[in-house]
Structures are given as C-alpha cells and as structure tokens.
C-alpha cells in the first residue's frame, strides 16, 4: 500500500514536471494557430479560438518558407553525410592504427575544442570572401558544416571503436579486405548505434545554424529556415504568430529525425551490436 502511494506521488510529480516543461512548447504550437488579435489577450487563450491556418499559409507562400525549407534540406543532407563520414573515418583511424605522434595529434585535435566557434568566424569569413564562387553559395555551407565539429565527433566515436572486438576486423583482413573495406563493411556497420546519435547531433547543428549561413547566403533565394525566421522580426515589432508558425515548420524535420534515429538506436542496442 505504502509502495503504491509513493509510486503515485512520484508519478504525479513527474507528470507535473512534464507539463511545466512542455507548456512553453504547447504555447508556441497554439500561438502559431492564432490570429494576431488573440496573441496577448487577457486571460490568455489556451485553445485558439478561432483557430486558423493562415499563419502557415502566409509564412509558406508569402514569406517563401517553401523555398527556405528546400534550401535547408539541400544543405543538411550532404552536410550531415559528409560530417558523419569524415568523423567516423577520423575516429577509426585514431582507434585502430598506430602511427608516430598519434596521441599528440589526437591531443591537438581535442585542443581545438577549446576555441569557441564564434572566434573562428571572422578569419573563416575573411578567407572565403576572397573567392566570389563561395559567396552566396549553398555549396559553401555544405562544405563548412561537413567538416565542422569533427574534433568532438571523433572524440565521441573513438571510444566506441576501441571498445568493439577487433577480431571481426582481423578476420576481414584475412579474407582479403583492404583497410578501407574493413572500415566500411565491418567497423562502420557495427558502430551504427553511435552513428545514429551522431546523425541527430550533426543534423541539429546544421539545421539550426544561423549566423554563419547568414553571412554567406546573401540572397533570399539561398536562405535557409533560420535566416527566414529571423527575417520575420521587424525593427520595432514581432509578429509572434508568424514567427511561431515558421518555427513549427522548421521543427517538423527535427522531430522526425529524432524519432526515426532514436528508435533505430534502441533497436540496434537491444539486438546486440554484433548481429548485423
């Protein structure tokens, strides 16, 4: 009986916590369905009445979010693939190969983590702005996001590769695989659970990035979603209903990616990393 009560208390407390945490998000969702008249009404409306899709329509068509959505997608897919590929390659190299100064290089790589990203923006921009080709070009963002964050990702994956039994790779070598084949066909598939988390992180980083893309992508035709959302802010006023509708649009792929890869992540773990 006593146990039941304490369980109920915990459940109620957790539920309250969840409600408090989710409320701002809920408020964003409902505001995106409100007309501007009801955003600040007192008492606040908790269920939009009248509910309207007009904000979404306006943002999608008038404010060209359809275009920004496409641009974001065009950038994020190759960037994440490149990023994950290069990161795992780096991590695998440090985990499995012996070469002179290996730990020194690894330390140097990790040391770059202590430099705040914002500090690098000016020199990076300075280099890129000298080449007209790279300015206002989505390819630049694919490239820079693709190689960004490798230090942390390699750190994250190296331990995973080191903890994997080396026997599989040895037998692959005996069967005639070269180093790249061993990595690609044997090690990479085994590390998929870790790769899945890496994809989530890398996706979020590229998808949400604002400042760097805003420096490079100048024309509206090349804008990504975060730049589009910022452009809805006026100097003196903010149309929250439009901003939230825009934010909701940019949030959907994040939720999808998160759910898809989280499920995959759990599944791979429960089946055991070796059963591929």
Partner 1 sequence: MKKSLVVIFVLLLCVFSFAAKELVLWHSYSTTSGEYKVLTEKVIPDFEKTHPGVKIVETQVSSDEMRKRLVVSTASQDFPDLMRMDIIWVPQFGNIDVLMKLDKEFPAEFNKMKDEFLEGPLSTCKWDGNYYGLPLDTNTRVLLWNKKLFNEAGLSHPPRTMDEFFEDIKLLTKDNDGDGEIDQWGFADSGLGPWNSIPWIYSAGGEILNSDNNTAEGHVNSKQSVAILNEYKELYDEGCISDIVTGSGGIGALEGYAENIYAMVISGPWGHSIIKGQYPDAEINYALMPAGENGSRSVVGGEDIVMFQSTKYKQEAFEFMKYITSYDVQLEFAKVGQMPVLKSIADDPFIRNHDYFGIYMQQLKTAVARSPHPAWNEIEDSIATAWEDTVIGDYDAKDSLDSAAEDIEDILSEY
Q: Which residues bind partner 1 (CB under 8 A)?
A: 36-37, 39-40, 42, 58, 62-64, 121-122, 125-126, 129, 211, 214-215, 218-220, 228, 230-237, 239, 242
Q: Give 38 or 160: the residue with its C-beta nearer to partner 1.
A: 38
Q: Give 62 or 104: the residue with its C-beta nearer to partner 1.
A: 62
Q: At its nearest, how many Å lie between partner 1 and the CB of residue 215?
A: 6
Rounded Cα–Cα distance for residues 264 and 276 (Å): 13
Q: Give 23 or 180: the residue with its C-beta nearer to partner 1.
A: 23
Q: Give 160 or 223: the residue with its C-beta nearer to partner 1.
A: 223
Q: At its nearest, how many Å lie between partner 1 and the CB of residue 148?
A: 17
* Beta bridge partners of residue 238, listed in sequence order: 233
Q: At its nearest, how many Å lie between partner 1 and the CB of residue 121?
A: 7
DSSP 3-state of 229: helix
Contacts of 151 (CB under 8 A, 6+ apart): 109, 110, 112, 113
Nearest to 186 by CA among 205, 197, 172: 172
Q: Give 136 or 271: the residue with its C-beta nearer to partner 1.
A: 136
Q: At its nearest, how many Å lie between partner 1 and the CB of residue 260?
A: 32
DSSP 3-state of 233: strand
For residues 241 and 55, the answer to whether their CB atoms sit within 8 Å is: yes
For residues 181 and 136, the answer to whether their CB atoms sit within 8 Å is: no
Phi-psi region of 211 (alpha: psi -120 to 50; beta: other; left: phi over 0): alpha
Nearest to 249 by CA among 65, 31, 22, 80: 65
Q: At its nearest, how many Å lie between partner 1 and the CB of residue 72?
A: 16
Q: At its nearest, how many Å lie between partner 1 and the CB of residue 36?
A: 5
Q: Give 28 or 201: the residue with its C-beta nearer to partner 1.
A: 28
H or E element at residue 167: helix 167-174
């Amino acid at each position: 009986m006593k146990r039941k009560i304490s369980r109920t208390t915990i459940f109620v407390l957790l539920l309250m916590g969840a409600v408090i945490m989710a409320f701002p998000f809920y408020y964003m969702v409902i505001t995106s369905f409100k007309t501007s008249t009801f955003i600040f009404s007192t008492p606040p409306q908790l269920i939009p009445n009248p509910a309207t899709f007009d904000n979404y329509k306006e943002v999608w068509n008038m404010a060209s979010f359809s275009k920004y959505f496409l641009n974001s997608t065009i950038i994020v897919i190759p960037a994440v693939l490149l990023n994950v590929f290069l990161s795992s390659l780096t991590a695998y190299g440090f985990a499995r190969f012996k070469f002179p100064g290996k730990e020194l290089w690894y330390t140097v790589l990790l040391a770059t983590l202590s430099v705040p990203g914002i500090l690098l923006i000016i020199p990076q921009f300075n280099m890129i702005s000298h080449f007209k080709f790279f300015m206002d070009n989505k390819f630049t963002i694919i490239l820079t996001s693709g190689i960004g964050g490798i230090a942390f990702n390699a750190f994250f994956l190296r331990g995973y590769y080191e903890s994997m039994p080396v026997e599989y790779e040895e037998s692959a070598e005996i069967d005639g695989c070269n180093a790249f084949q061993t990595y690609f066909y044997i090690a990479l598939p085994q590390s998929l659970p870790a790769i899945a988390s890496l994809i989530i992180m890398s996706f979020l980083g590229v998808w949400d990035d604002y400042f760097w893309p805003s420096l490079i992508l100048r024309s509206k035709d090349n804008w990504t979603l975060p730049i589009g959302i910022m452009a809805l802010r006026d100097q003196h006023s903010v149309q929250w209903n439009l901003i939230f509708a825009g934010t909701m649009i940019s949030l959907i792929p994040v939720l999808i990616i998160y759910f898809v890869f989280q499920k995959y992540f759990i599944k791979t773990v429960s089946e055991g990393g070796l059963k591929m």
